[in-house]
Structure 1
C-alpha cells in the first residue's frame, strides 16, 4: 500500500463513520498521512482525529478509536494504534507481490524511477536572483519539474554576472527584470561566488551544500562537505551507491545475479522497501513545492536504510557459504536502492561515482 492509497483508505473510513452516524462531522477533502518520525510507532501516522474532534464534539481519542475500527480490517493494513492525544499510527502489510512490483518498477525505469507526467500540462517560468545559490536552486527545480513532464524556462534578474555558473551545470534561458506570472526562486544567499566555492569544494559538494538545506535556511558550506566519513551526508549517500555497485560486481564474481522474488524479504528490509515505494511521491512533492532539499533528505534516508539492511541481511555470502535464494533477493533490493540513489543525485545535478 502506497501513502496515497493509505490516505484514501483513511478518508474512506471517515466517510463510513459519518454515513453510519458514528461521527457527526464534515468529511475533509483529503487526509494527510506522513512517515512516522524516528522513535514513533508504525510506518505512517495521521492526525485526522484531532482535525475532526472539534466538529464532531468528541475528544480526539474517541474519534481516533472510531476510525481505528474502520481502518484496521482494510487490506494492506497490518496494525492500527492510537497514540498520543489522538494520532492514528499505521503499520502496513507488505506482501511479496507489492515488494516485487516496486523492485520491478525500479528495474524497468532505471534512474528515471519516480519520474512521471503529472505536470505535463504545465508550462512554467522560473526567475532567480543573480546569485549562485539562487541559480543552482532554480536549476535543480527545473530538473525536478521536467522529470514530472512540465515545460520550464529559467530567467535571471541580471546577468550574466557569474561566469562560473556553467561549471555548476547551470543554464539560463533569458536575462532581465522579473516578468509577471513567474515563480521567483530566492533562497537565503550563499554570500560567496561560484568561483570561490568551486575552488574550495568542487562542483558536487557545492551543489549538495547549496541544495540540502531548505531555501529559507542558511547553506553551510564548510570543508566538512569534503570529509569522507559517516558524518558527511553527501559522502554517505554516494558511498551507499558505490557499495551497491560493488555488491553487483561481487555477486558476478561468485557466479550469481539478483532476483527480487527468489525469497521473501526479512523484517530488516522493510524500511528500505517502504522508502523505495515512497520515492515517486517524494519527487513529485519536491517538484510541486519547488523544494530540492526534499530529494536530498530522501536520499539520506535511503542510504541510512540501505546500510541498516546491508548490515542485518548481507547480500553476499561470507566464508564458505554458498549463494542462496535469500542472497539473490537481497541483492535485488540493494541494486534497486543504488538505482534510486543515482537517479536522485542526478536530479540534484550531482555525480554518482561507482568507486569512492
Structure 2
C-alpha cells in the first residue's frame, strides 16, 4: 500500500463517517490527505495529522475525531492497526500483504513508476543557462545545466507538459566585440578594448578561417559581419554539443535577434502603449513598472533610439505566453536578484498575474576546489574553467549528481577529490553502487534460474517492511520535488534508499545457498530487489545521471 493508496483509504473512511451522520464537514471531505512515514520506530508504518486539520471544522476536538476515524479505518482492507497518539495523530500499521504488493506494482509500472498527475494540464516553460554565444560554457552555466534540466524532468514526471528553452543572446554590442576579438587573433593583433581573450578565441579564429577561406581578407565592415555570423554559428554549435554530452537537452533554442526580425518587439511596444503603461521622458520611452512594485521604472528605448534588453525581455515573455505556456520559469544566476521585481512588474504591465504565470529561481555561486585551491573563472581574462574541462576531470555523473543534490539557493563548494572518490563517503558512488549491486544480484538469480514472483504476504521481516515503505514513498518525493522546484529531494531520497536496501540485503537472504531449494520467499524477495532497481534507475534518470549495471 502506497501513501497515495492509504490517502484514498482515509478519504473513503471520512466519506463513510459523513454519510453515516457520525461526522459533519461543512466544506466537504478533502480530496486527499497527507500521509507520511513516522520518524520514530514503533509509531506504525504511516502517520497522518488529518484529525488535527479537520477537528475545528467538524466542531469537535482532534483526539475525538481521531478515535472516530481510527475505528472506521480498522475495518478497512489492508489496514493492520490504527492508534491515536498525542493530541490526535493517527499511527497506521499496514498488513504485510497490502504493503508487499507495492513491489509488484513498481515492477509492473517500470520506467513510469514515480510519475504522477499532480501537475497534469499545466504547460510550463523552463528557461535556463541562456549564455551569450561568445565563449565556452563555464561552471556557473554548469550548475544551471544540471538544475534546470532536473527541474524540467521532475515537472514532466509530475504530469506537466514541459518545454526546456535556451535564450540565445545573439543581439547586442557584445557580438561585435566577439567578432573583433576573433579578427584581431586571426591577424595577430592585440585584443581590442572590451574584447574577449583566451585560447578559445584563437581556436575560433582558426576554425572560422578553415570554414570560410578568405573571410579575413574581406573589407573591414563586410569582414566583421561575415566573421560574426560564422563565429556565432561555430560557438553555438559547440555549446549545443557540450550540453548534449553533459546529458542536458533543450527543446527550443530561441534567438533574441529573431524577436526583432519578426517584428515582435514593435508589436510589444504598441501593446504596452494601448495598456497605458509606457511614457516618454528625456527623449526615452519608459515602462511604468513602479506601478507594480518595481523599485524604478525601466527604459524600453533609449534617447538615442536604441532598444534596451528589457524591451527584448518583455517581447520574449509575451512570445512564450503566445505559445500557450501557463507558467514561465526563469532560472537566473546569483547576480540577477534585481531582475525578480522587474520581471514580475513586466508581467503585470502586460496584463498577467505574475503570481500565476511567472516564476524566478535564483541560484547561488559554485566553487570548485582542487588540492584546496579554487579553480577561478574569468571569460574575458581567458583564465576560464569550461564545462568541457570540468566533465573531463570530474565526469558527467559525478558532476551532475554533486550539483543536483543541493538546493539552488545555497552557495556550494565542491572538492574534486571528494566527488570523484570511489567510496561510500561519496553520495553519487553510494547510489550508483547500490544499483550495480542490485543488478549483480539479479544476474546471479538469472544464472541460478530463480524467477521473481509476487507473494506479498511473505514479506514480513522488519527490513523488508522498511524497504517497501521507502519504495512506496518515491512518487510523493517526485511530486514534492516538482511542486517545490527542488530536485535535490530526489537525490537525498536515493541516498536514503540505498542505505535501506543495503540493510535489507544484509538481513534478508535473497537467493538460495548451495543445494537449498528455491522457495516462494526467495521469489518474493527477488521481486523486491527488482522493484528497488527500478526506483534507483528512475530516480537517477530524473537527475540525468546514469544507472550502471557494473562498477
Q: Answer yes or no: is 1:353 the counterpart of 2:545.
A: no
Counterpart secondary structure, 2:366: coil
- How far apart, in 1, do the equivalents of 2:116 and 2:29 lie? 27
- Report if aligned partners of 1:206, 1:221 keep a CA contact under 8 Å in 2: no
| SS of corresponding position for 1:210 | helix
Q: Show the counterpart of 1:33.
A: 35
Q: For structure 1, which runs of at least 5 residues remain unmatched after alignment?
A: none
TM-score of the superposition, structure 1-length normalised?
0.84
Structure 1 residue 182 and structure 2 residue 328: aligned?
Answer: yes
Higher Rg: 2
**Count of matched residue pairs:** 354
* Aligned residue among 389, 398, 405 for 1:212: 405
Equivalent in the alignment of 2:414: 221
Partner of 1:230: 424
Give yes or no for contact 1:209–1:219 (8 Å, CA) kept in 2. no
1:236 deviates by 1.8
- Superposition deviation, residue 337 in structure 1: 0.9
| Distance in 1, Cα, partners of 2:159 & 2:25 | 38
Q: What residue is the counterpart of 2:126 in the other structure?
A: 126
SS in 1 for 2:36: strand
Which range moves more in the overlay, 244-253 or 11-20? 11-20
CA distance in 1, matches of 2:530, 2:18: 45
Change (3 A) 1:201 1:38: farther
CA distance in 1 between counterparts of 2:408 and 2:146 reads: 11
Q: Distance in 2 between matches of 1:16 and 1:262?
A: 28
Paired residue for 2:526? 331
Q: Which residues in structure 2 correspond to 1:169-318 (within 5 Å)? A: 169-172=247-250, 173-175=252-254, 176=256, 177=313, 179-180=317-318, 181-185=327-331, 186-192=361-367, 194-195=387-388, 197-219=390-412, 221-222=414-415, 223-261=417-455, 264-267=458-461, 268-318=463-513
Q: How large is the RMSD of aligned CA atoms in angstroms?
A: 3.2
Indicate the residue corresponding to 1:92 in structure 2. 94
Q: Distance in 2 between matches of 1:16 and 1:228?
A: 54
When residues 333 and 229 of structure 1 are mapped into structure 2, their CA distance, relative to the original with a 3 A threshold, is same
Greater Cα offset, 236-245 or 159-168: 159-168
* Partner secondary structure for residue 482 of structure 2: helix
Q: Note the C-alpha offset of 1:208.
A: 1.1
The answer (yes or no) to whether the contact 2:366–2:413 under 8 Å persists in 1 is no
What's the TM-score once normalised by structure 2's chain length? Answer: 0.57
Tell me, in whole angstroms, the C-alpha distance in 2 between the residues paired with 1:116 and 1:67: 27
- Matches of 2:4 and 2:87 in 1, distance apart? 24
Whole-Å Cα distance in 2 between the matches of residues 305 and 104 of structure 1? Answer: 19
Contact 1:78 1:92 (8 Å CA) reproduced: yes
User: What is the alpha-carbon distance in structure 2 between the residues aligned to residue 106 and residue 65 of structure 1?
Assistant: 33
User: Which digits, 9 at most, give the CA deviation of each residue in 1:197-239, with x for residues without a partner?
Assistant: 4354221111111212233334453343333333333222111
1:104-148 CA distance string (max 9 Å, x none): 444444334334666564432112355332232121222234445
1:310 Cα offset (Å): 1.0
